[in-house]
Amino acid sequence: MPDGLGPALEAPLFESAAIIGVGLIGSSLARIVRRKGLARRIIAFDSNAAVRRRALEIGLADHVPDTLGEAVAGADLVVLCAPVGAMEDIARDMAPHLADGTIVSDVGSVKAAVIAALAPLLPPNVHLIPAHPVAGTEESGPDAGFASLFYNRWTIVTPPDDADPRAVAKLIALWKHAGANVEIMSAAHHDLVLAITSHVPHLIAYNIVGTAADLEEVTQSEVIKFSAGGFRDFTRIAASDPVMWRDIFLANKDAVLEMLGRFSEDLTALQRMIRRGDGEGLQDLFARTRAIRRSIIDLGQETAAPDFGRRAKADTEG
Amino acid sequence: MPDGLGPALEAPLFESAAIIGVGLIGSSLARIVRRKGLARRIIAFDSNAAVRRRALEIGLADHVPDTLGEAVAGADLVVLCAPVGAMEDIARDMAPHLADGTIVSDVGSVKAAVIAALAPLLPPNVHLIPAHPVAGTEESGPDAGFASLFYNRWTIVTPPDDADPRAVAKLIALWKHAGANVEIMSAAHHDLVLAITSHVPHLIAYNIVGTAADLEEVTQSEVIKFSAGGFRDFTRIAASDPVMWRDIFLANKDAVLEMLGRFSEDLTALQRMIRRGDGEGLQDLFARTRAIRRSIIDLGQETAAPDFGRRAKADTEG
């Protein structure tokens, strides 16, 4: 396994996998499903006609029909890879076309709201098994995807209490064959975990980049030139897809506001330490946060290269 | 110039350069001064005896004396690479040993406070020309440095109004030969620019990592596992040297509190948008922040590789 992804399966897990939405995640899923032979046939659909054409051009799927109904008809796996806010409309449109026994899943960063949007609209004989691959880059669109996106990242599966264990097992197998580690949790807990590990980090990154852009005393050009002091790290996640992130904040409102409240409380305390000149308090916090990065690196979730390995661009001699 | 750093000078700029403090920045400066032949002789000093021994072992300098006085005696360039809070003590200790005409500079992330600490204590016949290379990694210590750290980064020089133009020109030449771009500005403006491009970003990174570590509903193990959702980007700068950063916040208190106030105001507005479900407002901000990253990449201050190029660790096939 020179690339860590392993050989293709001898027998596919699914006959026909429909991937609805072929942006970064959908197109990465299509690529790994193809590469590992996880489905005999791959159908892709996107509401954007230009994206559908591009998906055909780059060979993401065997078939890219013009309607959602055609895309899901006959599929035994449907994975919704669209912004969270689009789920309800998609469910309504595709429901009449779903075959009995189909597994319907998604990749949304919010789970409770997605389940609330999908569950009431799906026919009784399909299996709704929501999931969330915690992986991505700041890029968007069908060309941004790659087969190893999920490799050694976690996919969280949040099956309803009454889910069919065989359907759950099959969806877990899909993600494991895609290279992911799988964790099972409740939708509510997922939403709380992601609020702190993903949603609030994105929110404060968007916020500081916005604050810097609006200053009058410091020019945009200065912000850009001197960004190597730390600011540029935030611009990466603040370059993520705007519609996707709008939907995430609206759909995970309660957990985001709760975690944002904790963040703001802590920030107020830190502000007070600075105002009062409490060097000991500052140093205590700063020493504590170092250890967490070490753990993330040790778990293979982060590069150990200093400065995210940016140094490679200039020179490698000491 | 396979490495972009260019050949060594034929005649050195300085006879004897004393580098006081050999952590990440000091040891990188020593390496590039050696590599480019910017000084005939390099003297290094560190208040920590183990660091002095290590500096000798890895050949960072020609001489690593045991006292600060010996280190600066006879030097025509002294660069203070110590935490901002240590500047006053260093100035007091070294002042009696400084030769007439010596250029005294530093690399601190705060300029007004450093000037206030140094200027009253230095003898009248030395040239104080403060500077700040806006470059670094999250690592610390003499082994963390490398010669290309300053390459294509900006060094901000903040000469006093009555500075000797020849001394200023010589210090600028040092940094240009080290590969840096040089910008001149007032100390006060520097401190405001760095508050938004470096200090507040570090503060909110330290803060969110601290918030995540203290949660009861979400375990530390979950934060680490699912950090690929965005959180891990913040842990890099929250792994920076605790003492150095404590000193920066204490020394640049006014500008940091001012910029932090703007950040918090903006965050409150964003929080309100989420609470009220203002999707349009959220999307507007999120679309605006994308462009800034593009500019930073275009200016060569950031990698264009998605996800900071972390993908390289798994596989590179689409």
Per-residue pLDDT tens over the stretch A152-170: 999 999 999 999 999 999 9
Closest by Cα among A268, A238, A306, A231 to B288? A238
Collect all residues of chain A within an 8 Å Cβ-Cβ radius of residue B250. Answer: 274, 277, 279, 282
Q: What is the CATH architecture assignment of A189-313? A: Orthogonal Bundle (1.10)
Contact B250 A277 (CB under 8 A): yes
pLDDT band (50, 70, 90) for residue A302: confident
Query: Does the model's ipTM exceed the 0.95 cut?
Result: no
Closest by Cα among A189, A163, A176, A161 to A252? A189
Arithmetic mean of pLDDT over chain B: 94
Contact B301 A202 (CB under 8 A): no
Collect all residues of chain A within an 8 Å Cβ-Cβ radius of residue B228. Answer: 134-136, 153-154, 301
pLDDT score of A290: 87
Tally C-beta pairs within 8 A across A and B: 402
Contact A257 B274 (CB under 8 A): yes
Range(s) of chain B covered by CATH 1.10.3660.10 = 189-302
Q: Across residues B240-263, what is the average pLDDT?
A: 96
Give the model confidence (pLDDT) of B159-192 as tens digits: 999 999 999 999 999 999 999 999 999 999 999 9
Residue type for position A70: E
Range(s) of chain A covered by CATH 1.10.3660.10 = 189-313
Give the model confidence (pLDDT) of B139-158 as tens digits: 999 999 999 999 999 999 99
Cβ atoms B302, A227 nearer than 8 A: yes
Candidates 1.10.10.10, 1.10.3660.10, 3.40.50.1100, 3.40.440.10; CATH matching B189-302: 1.10.3660.10
pLDDT score of A303: 85
CA distance A236 to chain B (A): 7
Contact B229 A286 (CB under 8 A): no
**E strand or H helix at B54, and its extent?**
helix B49-57
Among chain A residues, CA nearest to B288: A210
Range(s) of chain A covered by CATH 3.40.50.720 = 14-185
Q: What is the CATH architecture assignment of B14-185? A: 3-Layer(aba) Sandwich (3.40)
Among chain B residues, CA nearest to A271: B257
Give the model confidence (pLDDT) of A227-254 as tens digits: 988 999 999 989 999 999 999 999 999 9
